[in-house]
């Protein structure tokens, strides 16, 4: 059985389910039903969500599995949160995250050296 598409392949608008049918007794229900939040996600977002859940939300493990940097994982996670219709909250460092500060600084400097950030962008990130 195929997965349900969440978006129209022509105009990309959200699709609606109009008929549900039981495969056992063939009872059918017709109407206009909205799809759940997860059907709104793109295949790439669903794949990222699967990796994120498989790694129990441990960003370091997600980085390792996908071979991407911390900022890339955070960006994809923020995109996923928005796609689910939720608000992306600004992160306020807590004591455990403060312990990760040297790693975050290293990653910013690596991105700067690869040309992914300008000096001004890197400075802003380092001042956080």
pLDDT tens-digit readout, 67-107: 999 999 999 999 999 989 899 887 655 555 566 778 888 88
- CA–CA gap between residue 128 and residue 123 (Å, rounded): 9
Give the pLDDT of residue 66. 96
Q: Please indicate, yes or no, whether residues 35 and 45 belong to a single structural domain of this protein.
A: no
Average pLDDT over the chain reads 86
The span from the CA of 41 to the CA of 5, in Å, is 9
Q: What's this model's pTM, rounded to 2 decimal places?
A: 0.56
Lowest mean pLDDT across 2-6, 44-48, 73-77, 94-98: 94-98
Same domain, 64 and 97: no
Q: Are residues 28 and 4 in the same domain?
A: yes
More confident residue, 92 or 51: 51
Counted residue by residue, the chain has a size of 128
Predicted pLDDT at 14: 83
The answer to whether residue 112 scores a pLDDT higher than 60 is yes
Same domain assignment for residues 27 and 49: no
How far apart are alpha carbons 37 and 28 in whole angstroms?
Answer: 23
Number of domains the chain is built from: 3
> If pLDDT is split at 50, 70 and 90, which confidence band does 6 have?
confident
What string of DSSP letters covers 1-63? -PPPP-B-TTT-PBPEEEEEE-TTT--EEEEEEEPPGGGGS-HHHHHHHHHHHHTTT-HHHHH
Ramachandran sector of residue 91 (left: φ over 0; alpha: ψ -120 to 50; beta: rest): beta
Quote the domain boundaries for residue 127: 93-128
């Amino acid at each position: 059985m195929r997965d349900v598409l969440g978006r129209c392949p022509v105009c990309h608008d959200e699709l609606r389910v109009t008929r549900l049918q039981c495969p056992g007794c063939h009872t059918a229900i017709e109407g206009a039903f909205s799809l759940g939040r997860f059907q709104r996600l793109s295949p790439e977002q669903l794949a990222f969500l699967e990796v994120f859940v498989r790694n129990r939300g441990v960003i370091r493990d997600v980085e390792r599995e996908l071979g991407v940097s911390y900022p890339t994982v955070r960006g994809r996670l923020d995109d996923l949160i928005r796609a689910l219709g939720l608000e992306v909250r600004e992160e306020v460092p807590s004591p455990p995250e403060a312990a990760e500060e040297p790693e975050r600084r290293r990653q910013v400097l690596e991105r700067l050296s690869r040309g992914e950030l300008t000096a001004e962008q890197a400075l802003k990130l380092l001042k956080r």
